[in-house]
Structure 1
């Protein structure tokens, strides 16, 4: 990134849609221009993979990294055991330590792909807050942190008030203070002066900035807009569930298809947030209309998949999609549903397979789909979803409409009857 981009970094982030609120915009702009700083983004280890809803923060950290700043990724090995109550109407399930450790291993792989190489700037530092919170005594915590926060003020935060209407444990009530303590500990241990997070983290971030000021540190906070698609769905969710970043949770082809199928109204915004294309090119793509709009969606799908899974996976996903839609290509990149020879010979129906492969929510839905001509086997419409999968092949392509496909493969092709 050029020096002009470095000095104008906050403007670039605003232009691309990353900035919602900032504790001190002028001060942060000066700090970013003055030299390399360390910025942190936190994740609780509630699953063994991050999903698309986390991607906005990872991309923001990539831009900071490209400008010469060091990304610090904080994993809440300790705070995961409590759960952030922000804007939730129920407590998170309590996870055991073995599950938390496995989740940490899973989400670190996403860090490595997006920020770990240091190819475009300082390599990311990954830190677990269990390093300091596990050994922190309760009375010491109250003395160092609790004395600085009034309950009256904490009760004014929307995130807290929302939970009070349902049920808020004292354990969760203290979460915001633990996050504030995380910030000052990262400042003390690693020179971290900027925390970024979603808009729902604003109160938590402010508390950290305030606690830092009381301890003599100038800290900054920046939040990103909470993302939803234009049709009102929460970002990171699809009709079939979460859009995971790890390939073992979601095949690269399905990841590619998620971006290819976004609403036309979201294309320009998502190109700015989830790719590194220049804004001039993004504006050109966003201006395309009609059938040409598909070009912009394909660029979005390729660039997002390339960052998540690599150039080869993005290329193979595009090839598979071209094959499905009648052009030359391959379907090898499609996720495969493995079918046993016993089930094939027993007469497993297309309706059963459509449900198991996630193409239909129920057998009756699969039947309705077939009645409308939307259920196809190897590219040909089927008359009824209750017909058995025909034997004689080792692989089949089952499709629901033009956008959902599943490759069914025989687990033991040599044993076919």
Structure 2
């Protein structure tokens, strides 16, 4: 496989070092490369999915990826792409997060295969034992101040302020590249386009410290993912889309991809799936001719949800989606109802011996009895997919889902979950 051509055709290359030399090196045999992931939370989010999948693409092409968990750099904070200083987290918290992220990365990369096994590393293993004087003498002297100030990530922060702590991040990341080269023979660093300055700084450090044997080192960045509507990728009304199923349920994850705009869906299929470009071209034709069918969005949602959460979670997400948007709430289990309605207003009712009007108020569907009666009489209230227009309806008459739930819908999109003790 021509991995460089594959990445190029998918739009996954934003910047790179000497193309001729890089392509020649990739064609000559397995290359070891790395990408870093700082533990800034207890899970990675979908902003990290693109570099993870690029590492996976390299592994499938026969190369050796290193997933570097930033247990050390995570204690400092990368200023790249940040308008203000990061909050520094306690070391024990960062250690816990680093462990969880290490497990997440193992879901995508194959560390067991005999051919081109992936490598997992934590930069705290070498950064945590550094001696300040020795580090400044041996490493710091290789970083001209003018060159550091000219890097985009630093320059963008100079007017707003940047601490020496974050200013030094570039040196630490460069040292990571040097150590991975020494220990594993790593020859290339990949990352988002905001990492270009840090990547080239690492290449310069290795050249400066390699003595008479000048090494050819490589760097490659991917485009930062943007959405056509201007909303930041990976953000929804309910917050960040995480890779951890406990933080973002597979159903919500699936729906995030289902809601992809027509202008973005083909690009995202190229970025985030392993479908062939020919298969994607067929889907692109469908977007042009039959956009209402949303086949490309459904394919994207299926492929990425299966990749991140597995087949069983995908089937559950599809079942919940079908019930919510096509009718069939009675087919859902308690767990599926909780997952599907995890971000809608909910209320717990102790006694079913109340009327429908009072239920709507207790469930915060409306704010007054007058508004409750109007909503019912106007046919705006649905309970478990059934429209109720009689204001005298008693809650005890309503059949509960799985014995303890009512799903109220007001209008077309406003959902509420009622639980009974």
TM-score bucket of the superposed structures, by smaller chain: 0.7 to 0.9
The match for 2:48 is 54
Is the 2:262–2:291 contact (alpha carbons within 8 Å) kept by the matching residues of 1? Answer: no
The match for 1:43 is 37
The match for 1:297 is 297
TM-score normalised to the size of structure 2?
0.83
Is the 1:184–1:208 contact (alpha carbons within 8 Å) kept by the matching residues of 2? Answer: yes
Distance in 2 between the 1:60 and 1:374 partners?
48
Is the 2:327–2:385 contact (alpha carbons within 8 Å) kept by the matching residues of 1? Answer: no
Distance in 1 between the 2:195 and 2:93 partners?
25
The match for 2:201 is 207
Distance in 1 between the 2:319 and 2:230 partners?
31
Distance in 2 between the 1:228 and 1:388 partners?
50
Superposition deviation, residue 311 in structure 1 = 1.2
What stretches of structure 2 of length at least 5 have no aligned partner? none
Distance in 1 between the 2:148 and 2:49 partners?
29
The match for 2:175 is 181
Is the 1:264–1:293 contact (alpha carbons within 8 Å) kept by the matching residues of 2? Answer: no
1:328/1:28 CA distance change after superposition, 3 Å: farther
Aligned residue for 1:223, secondary structure, equals strand
Aligned residue for 1:325, secondary structure, equals helix
Distance in 2 between the 1:106 and 1:256 partners?
22
> Structure 1 residue 282 and structure 2 residue 280: aligned?
yes
Listed one character per residue, the Cα deviations across residues 29-55 of structure 1 (whole Å, up to 9, x for unaligned) are 112111111111101111011111111
Aligned residue for 1:192, secondary structure, equals coil
TM-score normalised to the size of structure 1?
0.84
Listed one character per residue, the Cα deviations across residues 103-143 of structure 1 (whole Å, up to 9, x for unaligned) are 11222232121114556963321111111111111111112
Is the 2:192–2:223 contact (alpha carbons within 8 Å) kept by the matching residues of 1? Answer: yes
Q: Which stretch of structure 1 is more off in the superposition, 273-282 or 152-161?
A: 152-161
Distance in 2 between the 1:189 and 1:50 partners?
26
Aligned residue among 232, 240, 244 for 2:230: 232
Distance in 2 between the 1:110 and 1:271 partners?
22
Distance in 1 between the 2:349 and 2:41 partners?
34
Distance in 2 between the 1:363 and 1:209 partners?
63
The match for 1:70 is 64
Aligned residue among 140, 153, 159 for 2:134: 140
Superposition deviation, residue 291 in structure 1 = 4.5
The match for 1:223 is 221
The match for 2:385 is 379
Distance in 2 between the 1:193 and 1:176 partners?
18
Distance in 2 between the 1:346 and 1:149 partners?
73
Distance in 2 between the 1:220 and 1:274 partners?
24
> Structure 1 residue 156 and structure 2 residue 162: aligned?
no
State the Cα RMSD in Å.
Answer: 3.3
Distance in 1 between the 2:149 and 2:131 partners?
25
The match for 1:309 is 309
Superposition deviation, residue 397 in structure 1 = 2.9
The match for 2:13 is 19
Is the 1:40–1:72 contact (alpha carbons within 8 Å) kept by the matching residues of 2? Answer: yes
Q: Which stretch of structure 1 is more off in the superposition, 17-26 or 397-406?
A: 397-406
The match for 1:273 is 271
Aligned residue for 2:227, secondary structure, equals coil
Distance in 1 between the 2:69 and 2:17 partners?
23
Distance in 2 between the 1:120 and 1:380 partners?
57
Is the 2:76–2:88 contact (alpha carbons within 8 Å) kept by the matching residues of 1? Answer: yes
* Bigger Rg, which one: 2
Is the 1:180–1:209 contact (alpha carbons within 8 Å) kept by the matching residues of 2? Answer: yes
Is the 2:349–2:419 contact (alpha carbons within 8 Å) kept by the matching residues of 1? Answer: no
Distance in 2 between the 1:295 and 1:120 partners?
38
Aligned residue for 2:183, secondary structure, equals helix
Q: Which stretch of structure 1 is more off in the superposition, 172-181 or 116-125?
A: 116-125
> Structure 1 residue 196 and structure 2 residue 190: aligned?
yes
